[in-house]
Structure 1
């Protein structure tokens, strides 16, 4: 395997308008909504010149929000500030900023749809 092991992520949603509003406010990003077959997708911004991957919110017949399963961690400048934005946007705090030693810090939250997600920063 060459490069980064993850190339794309999808976050299941039940209410696209609510989820799009949540992520727009929580992360100060614009999401582009597209129809892909039976699914409605709201795409996160992606810059091909930068490392890492992008993804989308997805509403479709095989997508169900969950608190258990895979974890996606969003990179951020500082975990506590981002957790505050998430709560203001309507998300729920699940784990306050916590040190993970030499790897930085994490925090956990539940989004507007009930998905459990994480934040990671070096400071």
Structure 2
């Protein structure tokens, strides 16, 4: 009970968003027959891996939607992939000593999402 079940990403152009996320993260995104422009997202990775690892709770400083954060192996490469696929970087990479680094981007639909790179062991 209380486990995060799934996430939803709104899009003005579902096909464009599908191509963006497949290109950047390797996600499989299939249409859901009988539901119009709804598509099911299957993130890449071993089915035995935890799909959603956790989240953050923070004081809202301005109106903004909740943020989905995706773990990547290399933050700079992921941000380059985002830009190549038509998205854009938002702000600078933020180091979080002892944990990793974070960055944000906007997808082709104007949604803000986060990227997370775990700190390498022993650093």
Shorter-chain TM-score range: 0.7 to 0.9
Alpha-carbon RMSD across the aligned residues, in angstroms, is 2.4
Q: TM-score, normalised by structure 1?
A: 0.75
Partner residue in 1 for 2:91: 95
Structure-2 change in CA distance of 1:101 and 1:35 (3 Å): farther
Partner residue in 2 for 1:41: 39
Structure-2 change in CA distance of 1:42 and 1:94 (3 Å): same
Does structure 2 conserve the Cα–Cα contact (< 8 Å) formed by 1:20 and 1:42? Answer: no
Deviation of 1:38 after TM superposition, in Å, equals 5.5
Q: TM-score, normalised by structure 2?
A: 0.75
User: Which of 83, 98, 105 matches 2:101?
Assistant: 105
Partner residue in 1 for 2:112: 116
Partner residue in 1 for 2:50: 51
Write 1 or 2 for the structure with the bigger share of strand.
1
Structure-2 change in CA distance of 1:9 and 1:52 (3 Å): same
**Which of structures 1 and 2 has the larger relative contact order (alpha carbons within 8 angstroms, sep 6+)?**
1
Q: Distance in 2 between matches of 1:80 and 1:98?
A: 12
Structure 2 unaligned regions, length at least 5: 53-62
Partner residue in 2 for 1:81: 77
Does structure 2 conserve the Cα–Cα contact (< 8 Å) formed by 1:97 and 1:106? Answer: yes
Q: Distance in 2 between matches of 1:7 and 1:45?
A: 13
The total of aligned residue pairs comes to: 109
Structure 1 unaligned regions, length at least 5: 54-66
